[in-house]
Amino acid sequence: MVRILLIGCGSVGRGFLKVISRKMEWLRSAGIDPVIVGVTDSKGGLYDENGLDPEDVLRKKATGGFDNSISSLDLIEKVDFDVGIETTPTNAETGEPGLTHIKKMLERGANVITSNKGPLIVDFHGLCGFAKKRGLSLKYEATVGGAMPLISLIEKTLAGNEVYSIEGIFNGTCNYILSRMEKELFPFSHVLLEAQELGIAEKDPSYDIEGIDTAGKLVILANAIMDMKVGMKDVEIRGISEITPEAMELATRNGYTIRLIGEVRKNTGKLRVYPRLVSKSHPLAIYGTLNAALVKTDLAGEVFVSGRGAGSIETASAILNDLIGLYS
Amino acid sequence: MVRILLIGCGSVGRGFLKVISRKMEWLRSAGIDPVIVGVTDSKGGLYDENGLDPEDVLRKKATGGFDNSISSLDLIEKVDFDVGIETTPTNAETGEPGLTHIKKMLERGANVITSNKGPLIVDFHGLCGFAKKRGLSLKYEATVGGAMPLISLIEKTLAGNEVYSIEGIFNGTCNYILSRMEKELFPFSHVLLEAQELGIAEKDPSYDIEGIDTAGKLVILANAIMDMKVGMKDVEIRGISEITPEAMELATRNGYTIRLIGEVRKNTGKLRVYPRLVSKSHPLAIYGTLNAALVKTDLAGEVFVSGRGAGSIETASAILNDLIGLYS
């Protein structure tokens, strides 16, 4: 039996509940018997030490059926659980509330899986060291690239390889906007509006289009994969809002496109987010909301991966992979 | 200490010795202390229960310094080892000599890592069942796609996902030939000759160009990943030798190219190898000797991966990943 406490019940948290519900039988046959002992959002929660039905939690969440007297911190203190899943929204400056949630869950002796970039951006080595000292695991595949496996790809399929560099497209919103600009040669502001109407860009899109989101993911990759000790201040960041249709046209006329690339290189120790000319035949010339990464290594050479960088079920798939990795 | 017996000292076996030598320090710091207790090729071998120096084995291999009185089967019986690494050449019909080597190594109570497709094509479930019954592991990442992670990608980064289909380019020789035909519109026979001169195609190229190599890899994927029980006879196979420059020209004029695709689909249970029209903007429209695969799943959606499908060090990287997976 694996007792799960789920903190955060937005898009990713609900996706996780749906995935657990769909995969319950498979998980049991694989020797993992997941029991959801508690779920919270920012306003309340539910708990039952004998296990909540994920579908019932989803119904109550949709109909205002959470108990307002329950708080995340209360449940973390009060309920017995084996693994805490943290899916609250990212705050790249303070890391809160995820940072406190993760620390308290580790203090309670539970493993932690998070989709929340904030705590890792703010204190990657502090949290990992804290977990390690207690013999616990902190897993975070879902923080970078959604359903595109990258952290586990490098750790579990390229083990023993030295990673020289990672270059990638880590923000689907920017990639959608640039793909549309390439195809239609519309101005940035026009395509941004279109993306907002489709729900691909947020009402306040600055976090994505200014490259902050990509930079946060790079910080996690650099700390997790490249043995670096870096934070947001170490990333040189330029977003996509100043790209003109004229620049895009010039690029395409010469067989190139423009993509927002995040890159980290071991030899220089540099982290950069910037719009880059990418040859149309280069693997990073991907379209739509996809994410992609090109990993350069000493033994395997270049390995390229792409997949869906966001989405409720897709991100939950990454959390599920971490969960299975921990308990099988 | 992990005692390794290496059977097969061709390109892959020598690559493994080089990789072990380069990564010795790293492996020890990761808590794995590899000791090569024996190495054989088809004509002889070397052994030392206290450990052979990989560089010294490579020198002796190059200068005819192997002991002709040593045979692979002798060493498997005589030497104590924890893991056997089987890198002899593939025979897709009999599976030999790898099939016997792997069985005997499992009988001796050792885990096995293989880069040899033959034994798995001939008796995948027999060998895996045999290993499982004894509580041993049989690992085979290197049999499909060289340094392109695919089996471990699905098992270790997409765990819990149901795989609907795998489509891919699993033969670098064919992909090189088709890439050149696309670019130059030369006849097949001309490009094949060029590939043979460059060492990219074998003197007898039929195994690659007739699609047999791709079919063997599909059989392994279907058995390992898709819960199927299939052999070579279940694969519909068409190779690339009948593709004309005219067909390629027609394809390219319409925004397509032709690639040799291997595909396995869960819903139909069908395995096919055939030259397929691929849109130039499709991820499988890759160039040169690369391998690539598009995996369709229920949760993560489509995940695409590409990498170097062959090469001595690259294939050894996949073996190293299996080794680290077993002992860390």
In a domain, residue A174? The reply is yes
CA distance A226 to A309: 21
Closest Cβ opposite residue B147 in set A159, A303, A314: A303
Residues B138 and B159 placed together within one structural domain of the fold: no
CA distance A171 to A261: 9
The pLDDT, as a whole number, for residue A52 is: 98
Q: Tell me if B10 sits within 8 A of B87, measured CB to CB.
A: yes
CA distance A214 to B85: 41
Residue ranges of chain B with pLDDT lower than 70? none
Q: Sheet containing A302-308: which strands, arranged edge to edge?
A: A235-237, A271-279, A256-265, A163-169, A290-297, A302-308, B302-308, B290-297, B163-169, B256-265, B271-279, B235-237
The pLDDT, as a whole number, for residue B167 is: 98
Q: At what angle do helices B98-107 and B117-133 cross, to 10 degrees?
A: 20
Residues B302 and B316 placed together within one structural domain of the fold: no
Name the one residue in this structure whose structure tokens are 């020890």.
B28
Query: Using a CB-CB distance cutoff of 8 angstroms, which residues of chain A are in contact with residue B19?
Result: 160, 299
CA distance B60 to A150: 40
CA distance B217 to B110: 25
Closest Cβ opposite residue B149 in set A147, A157, A328: A157
CB atoms within 10 A of CB B223: 20
State whether residue A32 sits within 8 Å of chain B by CB.
no
**How far A325 CA sits from the closest chain B CA (Å)?**
7
Q: Which residues 6+ apart lie within 8 Å of B316 measured at CB?
A: A299, B12, B15, B16, B18, B19, B142
CA distance B240 to B176: 12
Residues B207 and B124 placed together within one structural domain of the fold: no
Query: Using a CB-CB distance cutoff of 8 angstroms, which residues of chain A are in contact with residue B323?
Result: 160
CA distance A294 to B308: 13
In a domain, residue B24? The reply is yes
Q: Which of B296, B299, B326 to mutate to test the interface with A (most CBs of A within 10 A)?
A: B299
In a domain, residue B149? The reply is no
Nearest residue of chain B to residue A141 (CA atoms): B157
**HSE-up (13 A, CA, CB side) for residue B136:** 22
Encoded amino acid at A216, one letter: G
In a domain, residue A150? The reply is no
Handedness of CA B281, B285, B291, B294 (dihedral sign): positive
Q: Tell me if A157 sits within 8 A of B318, measured CB to CB.
A: no
CA distance B150 to A3: 31
**How far A74 CA sits from the closest chain B CA (Å)?**
31
- Candidates B299, B29, B270; CA nearest to B163 is B299
- Candidates A84, A95, A124; CA nearest to A226 is A124
Name the one residue in this structure whose structure tokens are 């519900």.
A21
What does the pLDDT look like over B20-42, one tens digit per residue? 999 999 999 999 999 999 999 99
> Using the beta-carbon criterion (under 8 Å), do A325 and B158 form an inter-chain contact?
no
State whether residue B23 sits within 8 Å of chain A by CB.
yes
Query: Using a CB-CB distance cutoff of 8 angstroms, which residues of chain A are in contact with residue B300?
Result: 147, 149, 307-308, 314, 317-318
The pLDDT, as a whole number, for residue B84 is: 98
State whether residue B158 sits within 8 Å of chain A by CB.
yes
In a domain, residue A284? The reply is yes
Give me the residues of A, 257-296, that contact B with CB < 8 A: 281, 283, 286-287
HEC string for chain A: CEEEEEECCCHHHHHHHHHHHHHHHHHHHCCCCEEEEEEECCCCEEEEEEEECHHHHHHHHHCCCCECCCCHHHHHHHCCCCEEEECCCCCCCCCCCHHHHHHHHHHCCCEEEECCHHHHHHHHHHHHHHHHHCCCCEECHHHCCCCCCCHHHHHHHCCCCCEEEEEEECCHHHHHHHHHHHHHCCCHHHHHHHHHHCCCCCCCCHHHHCCHHHHHHHHHHHHHHCCCCCCHHHEEECCCCCCCHHHHHHHHHCCEEEEEEEEEECCCCCEEEEEEEEECCCCCCCCCCEEEEEEEECCCCEEEEEEECCCHHHHHHHHHHHHHHHHC
Residues A139 and A161 placed together within one structural domain of the fold: no
Residues B214 and B130 placed together within one structural domain of the fold: no
Catalytic residue among B23, B61, B139, B217: B217
Beta-bridge partners for A46 = A39
Residues B301 and B167 placed together within one structural domain of the fold: yes
Q: Tell me if B278 sits within 8 A of B261, measured CB to CB.
A: yes
> Using the beta-carbon criterion (under 8 Å), do B160 and A303 form an inter-chain contact?
no
Beta-bridge partners for A165 = A265, A296
CA distance A141 to A325: 11
Query: Using a CB-CB distance cutoff of 8 angstroms, which residues of chain A are in contact with residue B282?
Result: none
Task: Count CB pairs under 8 A between chains A and B.
Answer: 134
State whether residue B159 sits within 8 Å of chain A by CB.
yes
Query: Using a CB-CB distance cutoff of 8 angstroms, which residues of chain A are in contact with residue B23?
Result: 160
CA distance B256 to B284: 11
- The pTM of the full predicted model, rounded to 2 decimals, is 0.96
Query: Using a CB-CB distance cutoff of 8 angstroms, which residues of chain B are in contact with residue A318?
Result: 300
**How far A108 CA sits from the closest chain B CA (Å)?**
26
Domain count, chain B: 2
> Using the beta-carbon criterion (under 8 Å), do B157 and A160 form an inter-chain contact?
no
Supply the CATH number for residue B298's domain: 3.30.360.10
The pLDDT, as a whole number, for residue A30 is: 94
Q: Which domain holds residue B294?
A: 155-308
Q: Which residues 6+ apart lie within 8 Å of A229 measured at CB?
A: A125, A223
Nearest residue of chain A to residue B283 (CA atoms): A283
Residues B304 and B160 placed together within one structural domain of the fold: yes
The pLDDT, as a whole number, for residue A298 is: 97
Q: Which residues 6+ apart lie within 8 Å of B39 measured at CB?
A: B5, B6, B9, B13, B17, B45, B46, B47, B52, B57, B61
The pLDDT, as a whole number, for residue A95 is: 97
State whether residue B144 sits within 8 Å of chain A by CB.
no
Supply the CATH number for residue B322's domain: 3.40.50.720
Residue ranges of chain A with pLDDT lower than 70? none
HEC string for chain B: CEEEEEECCCHHHHHHHHHHHHHHHHHHHCCCCEEEEEEECCCCEEEEEEEECHHHHHHHHHCCCCECCCCHHHHHHHCCCCEEEECCCCCCCCCCCHHHHHHHHHHCCCEEEECCHHHHHHHHHHHHHHHHHCCCCEECHHHCCCCCCCHHHHHHHCCCCCEEEEEEECCHHHHHHHHHHHHHCCCHHHHHHHHHHCCCCCCCCHHHHCCHHHHHHHHHHHHHHCCCCCCHHHEEECCCCCCCHHHHHHHHHCCEEEEEEEEEECCCCCEEEEEEEEECCCCCCCCCCEEEEEEEECCCCEEEEEEECCCHHHHHHHHHHHHHHHHC
Known catalytic residue at B103: no
Residues A133 and A267 placed together within one structural domain of the fold: no
CA distance A113 to A324: 11
Percent of chain B with pLDDT over 90: 99
Residues B50 and B28 placed together within one structural domain of the fold: yes
Residues A110 and A124 placed together within one structural domain of the fold: yes
In a domain, residue A111? The reply is yes
Residues B96 and B189 placed together within one structural domain of the fold: no
Catalytic residue among A103, A156, A217, A233: A217
Residues B199 and B109 placed together within one structural domain of the fold: no
> Using the beta-carbon criterion (under 8 Å), do B149 and A148 form an inter-chain contact?
no
In a domain, residue A262? The reply is yes
In a domain, residue B150? The reply is no
The token pair at B148 is 């392109």
**How far A6 CA sits from the closest chain B CA (Å)?**
19
CB atoms within 10 A of CB A255: 11
